[in-house]
Amino acid sequence: MAQSDEAAHYGVNSSYAHSPKYGLGIATTSANISSINHIKNWWFLDVQINTSRVRKDITDESSSNVSLASSKVYSSDENSYSEASVGVNRYFAESYTQNQLLFGYKTIHANGVYNALNLTAGESVESQLATKFALSGELTIQLANKPLRLSASYLQADDGMLLGVARDETTIAVSASYPIWKNLTASVGYRNTNSSIDYFDVSTPTFGIQFAAIQF
């Protein structure tokens, strides 16, 4: 049996967002723990657990994830490294649970450019608005010796029901972030949610100031 190398990581995050248009505040707290295990020949087996809580003026929701993924790291060309991964995730919401398939591919290039692509496919959950398909991408380049991070995501959720009316949603988001001072990062973006029930349609710009995550 091959001997494995193991590394554990812990993290805690907290954020607050405010919508001047609607006068609403959103406070988010989250925590995660992950175990990265090198099996053999740059094959890895990763276990991750995270939980989050989102508090708004009239709602308070919590969710958790437990995922298991296998990945392979390899050199695609000189001084460039890629990682391909596949895994499963168990998503726990307050009113339902869902099984999800995870796929990922990321590369660190010799010039410092980083790109990543992640895909999530979720099973149908009767009468619950749950993730059916999610795709996200990230590109990080060096600008004035600091990382400029560009990201985009697409999420499709379906099978929701509200007072007997079917509810499906599609959400598209784009954002850019850049360190402005030490552990302080500024971000700007745009988010659009198109729902089959017009009441849940949202189209708004986003602005943020982020502090570096606390890790142990």
The CATH number of whichever domain residue 185 belongs to comes to 2.40.160
Alpha carbons 160 and 193: distance in angstroms, whole number: 15
Task: Give the HSE-up count for residue 166: Cα atoms under 13 Å, Cβ half-sphere.
Answer: 6
Amino acid at 88: V
Q: In DSSP terms, which residues pair with 210 in a beta bridge?
A: 185
Domain that holds residue 187: 58-215
Q: What pLDDT is attached to residue 161?
A: 85
Residue 207 lies in a domain: yes
Closest CA to 153 of 171, 129, 168: 171
Give the distance from CA 105 to its chain's centroid: 14
Report the domain count for the chain: 1
pTM score, two decimals?
0.83
Per-10-residue mean pLDDT of the chain, 216 residues long, equals: 61 70 72 91 94 79 94 87 97 94 95 95 93 97 94 94 89 95 89 90 84 60
Write the CA distances from 90 to 8, 28, 65, 100, 121, integer angstroms. 20, 21, 6, 6, 12
- Six token digits for residue 122: 């979720």
Residue 179 lies in a domain: yes
Residue 4 lies in a domain: no
Alpha carbons 74 and 107: distance in angstroms, whole number: 10
Q: In DSSP terms, which residues pair with 80 in a beta bridge?
A: 77
Residue 112 lies in a domain: yes
- Six token digits for residue 197: 């029930």
Alpha carbons 175 and 190: distance in angstroms, whole number: 6
Cβ atoms 53, 61 nearer than 8 A? yes
Residue 12 lies in a domain: no
Residue 164 lies in a domain: yes
In eight-state DSSP terms, residue 22 is T
Residue 20 lies in a domain: no
H-helix or E-strand spanning residue 131 = strand 130-143
Cβ atoms 170, 153 nearer than 8 A? no
Write the CA distances from 12 to 35, 52, 62, integer angstroms. 16, 10, 15
Residue 48 lies in a domain: no
Q: What pLDDT is attached to residue 55?
A: 82
In degrees and rounded to multiples of 5, residue 151 shows phi and psi of -140, 155
